[in-house]
Structure 1
Amino acid sequence: MTTYRPEKADELIQTAKAMVAPGKGILAIDESNGTCNKRFEAVGIEPTEQKRREYRELLLTTPNLEEYVSGAILYDETIRQTTGDGKSFIDVMRERGQVVGIKVDTGAKPLAGSDGEKVTEGLDGLRERLAEYYEMGARFAKWRAVIAIDTAKGLPTRGCIEANAHALARYAALCQEAGVVPIIEPEVLIDGDHDITTCERVTEEELNEVFRQLYHQNVMLEGVILKTSMVISGKGASNRAGVDEVADRTVETLRRTVPAALGGVVFLSGGQGVEESTAHLNAMHVRHADRLPWPLTFSYARAIQGPALNYWKGEPGNVAEAQQRALTRAKYNGLASLGKYSEDMESA
């Protein structure tokens, strides 16, 4: 797609390959403090920095997690934290052979001139922040854009799609300049009552624009990971598409829009149920494994964290079982990324 090669091109390519190694995916624990606190309050955990640190330690020190999780996306607070005995989370991950990632956008803000749409901010000062994170040990970053579907309002608008795609591409170029692999995350939100055909149309338009903008910003695709939502019915749809249709439409949409040179594709769970997101990923491999030109795996947050958080509830005595629950979800998703998951495992 481009002949431009960043100074650290070989390092970027090797990092991207490690992130989507066979049977592994990426754990997303990059929630902002506010979002994390809300999830804590929902299950009765005190929303403090100490509890956030304990929770991230629980996840990152889960025994054998590295067998299914290649790396984790951290938040700025988390990348600076340590375990209870003083070891940095960065060192915990490095010793397990995992890649350290960092969320670098500053959130989705209202898009001026639009009725309810958002554009993600955070480009100001990003070059300097990336240099600091690279020095700390981060080797990939993440930037999330959100695209809402509202057919009554005519959303998304072309302006929203273009604004977010342009920001993703500028962010990606700055990442590669710093030797950091960019995860680009253009998420089509599952909120709404739209059908799967509408989601497919919007996803195709959005991804086409994202890769057009990456080309214009001289981004090397081999050193990029796409984190995308699945082609799926809105949560409020009256007749939601089944697992096989989601798998088929998602793969077809990606094959139409995503260049084969890309370093890899990972999915966000995006409001899906824990088991639902695993089943969808598995079906894509069972039905289309020989048609995928790039590695296709997961980068889940709540779909891995959820069972652990709900059991832990901030209690030290619950840590071991909570870790086992996180490991189980990571294992099932690792198997799904190989087409080897079965729903019968859930009742075993």
Structure 2
Amino acid sequence: MNTTQLAKIRAGRGFFAALDQSGGSTPKALAEYGVAEDRYSTDEEMFDLVHAMRARVVTDPSFDGSRVLAAILFEQTMDRDVHGVPTGQFLWEDRQVVPILKVDKGLAEEKHGVQLMKPIDALDDLLERANRHRIFGTKMRSVIKDADAQGVAAIVDQQFEYGAHISAAGLVPILEPEVSIDSPHKVEAERLLHDALVTSVGALSEDAVIMLKLTIPTQPDLYADLKADPRVLQVLALSGGYDRDEACAKLGKDASMIASFSRALLEGLRDDQSDEQFSAQLAASIEQIYAASVDKQPG
């Protein structure tokens, strides 16, 4: 574990950029960027285009470690280069942005109001490659759709089981049990999740280090007690389908969370923008998300 990167993230003066759209979500991300499906005919061409988009983001002057603490990468992004340098190495050495790797393989079918993660095949190989690329940590997502105690317990158990495996490989896991913003019982689901997380974090060894990535709760600071636990490096907020303005407004009222935004970060960026237009839009987005992460306005 890189102790300089650890200290940077623990300080929390900034936010995480989630640049980890994978096979299923890449076409939508490209469409929102203004790249229609008729621009590519194979997966390889699609991933070339999304890598070009990500490279444009991370090489922009506004994208640096003064406000962006870390970037979450898709596996193919980790394996590719930016300006002739492996992406993770470029992020840290050129931008002072900590590299994180998405490791989950998507969601299983819904059961008991939740979608667990599909089995993460060849995880050991992926973690070995991540270490070679000097990746700091990992991220994996599952989804809670309703307030079912059995389902929420299964989600948390699976996240912590994989998290222990990842920690043993020397990386810091981000556990992401997302509560759907469309859940018919969102408040109750968040309370169940909170209590299950408190129990599981409490069972960790004193020297354990994890991060949590969670939906912005209806009740601000619901997860403040988890943020205060020394084993929890950061509590990150996902945008969860909110647009950037709404996500930032909600996040700005929660003193225990900093952003880890994907769609909300890239909102307004277009392939056909000039470099000046692109840079101005990205700089404005970064400033808004940074402010919501560090300049809290309780209310």
State the TM bucket, normalised to the shorter chain.
0.7 to 0.9
Q: Is the 8 A contact 1:204 1:257 kept in 2?
A: no
Distance in 1 (alpha carbons) for counterparts of 2:189 and 2:207: 22
C-alpha distance in 2 between matches for 1:18 and 1:223:
14
- Among 166, 170, 191, which residue is 2:157 paired with? 166
Helix, strand or coil at the partner of 1:267: strand
Q: Which residue of 1 aligns with 2:96?
A: 97
Structure 1 length normalisation: TM-score? Answer: 0.74
TM-score, structure 2 normalization: 0.86
1:277 to 1:219, Cα distance in 2 relative to 1, 3 A = farther
What is the rounded CA distance, in whole Å, between the counterparts of 2:214 and 2:160 in structure 1?
Answer: 15
Identity of aligned residues (%): 21
Once structures 1 and 2 are overlaid, which stretch shifts more, 34-43 or 262-271?
A: 34-43
User: Could you tell me which amino acid in structure 1 is paired with residue 70 of structure 2?
Assistant: G
CA–CA separation in structure 2 for the residues paired with 1:318 and 1:127: 42
More helix by share: 1
Q: Which residue of 2 aligns with 1:303?
A: 264
Tell me if the contact between 1:283 and 1:339 (Cα under 8 Å) persists in the aligned partners. Answer: no
Which of 192, 210, 217 is matched with 1:224 structurally?
Answer: 210
Mark the CA change 1:23 to 1:258 in structure 2 (over 3 Å): closer, same or farther: closer
In the TM superposition, residue 277 of structure 1 has moved relative to its aligned partner by 1.2
- Is contact 1:17-1:263 (8 Å) kept? no
Aligned match of 1:268:
238
CA distance in 2, matches of 1:209, 1:12: 29
Matched to 1:157, the amino acid is D
Which of 122, 127, 140 is residue 125 of structure 1 equivalent to?
A: 122
CA distance in 2, matches of 1:177, 1:133: 13
1:337 and 2:298 aligned: no
Partner of 1:141: 138
Hey, what's the Cα distance between the residues in 2 that align with 1:35 and 1:79? Answer: 17
Q: CA deviation at 1:338?
A: 2.3
Going from structure 1 to structure 2, the CA distance change for 1:137 and 1:122 (only over 3 Å counts) comes to farther
Q: Which residue of 2 aligns with 1:189?
A: 180
Cα-Cα RMSD = 2.4
- Please state which structure has a larger fraction of its residues in strand: 2
Match for residue 79 of structure 1? Answer: 78
Structure 1: give runs of 5+ residues left out of the alignment.
Answer: 1-10, 150-155, 233-248, 286-291, 342-348
Residues 215 and 14 of structure 1, relative CA distance in 2, 3 Å threshold: farther
Give a deviation string over 1:79-102, Cα, whole Å, max 9, x none.
11123x423222320222111100
Distance 1:322 1:128, change over 3 A: same
Q: C-alpha offsets along residues 45-85 of structure 1, whole Å, 9 cap, x if unaligned?
A: 335222111101011112132121011000011111123x4
Secondary structure, in 3 states, of the residue corresponding to 1:108? coil
What is the rounded CA distance, in whole Å, between the counterparts of 1:200 and 1:259 in structure 2?
21
Q: Secondary structure at the match of 2:70?
A: strand
Aligned partner letter, 2:213: K
Letter in 2 for 1:21: A
- C-alpha contact (below 8 Å) 2:105/2:117 kept by paired residues: yes
CA displacement, residues 142-192 of structure 1 (integer Å, 9 cap, x when unaligned) = 01110003xxxxxx4223212211111012111211111111111100125
Post-superposition CA distance 1:104-129 (Å, at most 9, x none): 01111114xx3664111234432332
Q: Who wins on radius of gyration, i.e. which is larger?
A: 1
Asked if residue 250 in structure 1 is aligned to residue 216 in structure 2, the reply is no
* Unmatched segments (≥5 aa) in structure 2: 41-45
Residue aligned with 2:25, SS: helix
Aligned position for 1:19: 9
